[in-house]
Structure 1
Amino acid sequence: MKIVSWNINSVRFRIAIVEQFLREVEPDILCLQETKVIDSDFPFDAFRALGYRHIVIHGQRMHHGVAILSRVPIVEDDRLDWQANREARHVGVRLPNGVRLENVYIPAGGDVPDREVNPKFGQKLDFLGRMIDWSQALDCPTILTGDFNIAPLESDVWSHKQLLDVVSHTPIEVETLARLQASNDWVDLGRHFVPAPTRLYTWWSYRAKDWAVSDRGRRLDHMWATRDVAAQASGHTVFEACRSWLKPSDHIPIMTEFDW
């Protein structure tokens, strides 16, 4: 089974490259973040035409939004409010084999890494704190994927030294994400298959005139699994070429394959 995660940065605006990706890669399940559309306006027909008939969405007008599109049955969806303000940042389902699949869009956190002067940064840390509480109580095989908006390792960013004070790679964010990982002994599947210090990025800013030449990337998108599920993973892929497609997202898709 192939499971993909992709921050698409508006599913309606980029539906053409989503369709292209699904035709070329044919994943079984696609988890999207930043769909930026209310549920009634979601492009259901485009996905159903490609065989993704099982659709669970949690939308919001112009902001946030998550979705899970599947060619296999999915049930028991939930929408956890880790932001504590009803923003559409999570949706979860159960797969046919009983594994939970949780799709999350963690807040970016604003520009200043100080909760006193930047409330958005505090909201991000509090969001992660609620995830830690959830994770500690988790008692079933689970995949946790999405845009975490944190690049934890030195080799997850183009310059560790220059980004230490930049939101997404600050020590407190890295430490908090490490606490989340330790809270249920999660396996970081990206780094399981591509160990550090190998370069591994999933995001490049739109500000760069030529993203590939400057290569100022960060690994903000992740797929984690509980140990029992991780033991069944057989490969992990990042699709850098998608960053050069027409009207691209600033994120690229990531995919893990499981022997199910």
Structure 2
Amino acid sequence: MTGRDEGADLYPIDPSPVVILVRPQLAENIGSVARAMGNGGLFHLRLVSPRDGWPQDRAFRTASGAVRILEAASLHETVADAVADLHRVFATCPRPRHIVKPLLTARGAAAELRAIGARGLRMGLLFGPERAGLDNDDIAHADSLIRYPLNPGFMSLNLAQAVMVMAYEWWMAGEAVPSRVLQTHKTRVATKSELENFLAHLIAECDASGFLRNAPKRPGMVRNIRHFFQRGEVTEQELRTLHGIVTELAHGHGLRARDSGIETG
């Protein structure tokens, strides 16, 4: 199978970039790439001169459910053939090179790819062979370079990991889910009215137990109690306050029970 992949006809409704693996060496890596692509919503795969030919059973065994991506993958003899129908091409480039091209992070590239896709243009992502990466002739087919801002002392990614980083950033660039939510399971977030009702109850019990008997300190202690329940991060002082509340409430309950003749032990 050569030329454009079958998925190319889906571009008007699916503007995701094509992942192009240049001279991949291991079939297992190709399968793992398909798995990473599926996670990030990338579905178009092109292979340029895989070392062991194509298809490879080992790739399908490691795809973990992403078999359709491999089945739709196209085989190309050259990078020029693999990118011929694309409008913009980005090349991953982990090593410094003496090339004058725009250099983007994975996040920056994902945002630009989203904008390109929104204009109805086709785009591709070039990934080089596992051992050496893309060479200068490969990169000559790209408009822009992508470099991941990772630990400069250790920037070793395997092929599937490199694709996963871009797949994740591509997905997040179009993800509308808030970056932080509160998981409430079967309950819900309390209203301010419900919280105020609880605080009034708690403070009344603190007064009844004698915990707030120090009149000069009472306003500040009440504020501390309120602050604790208005946010989720507890300080050491708040913990000591809570210990005091529990101790006084228990002591007050014991005194009331003794005075009324009720056994508490």
Question: How does the TM-score come out when normalised to structure 2?
Answer: 0.28
- Greater fraction helix: 2
- Greater fraction strand: 1
Which one has a bigger Cα radius of gyration? Answer: 2
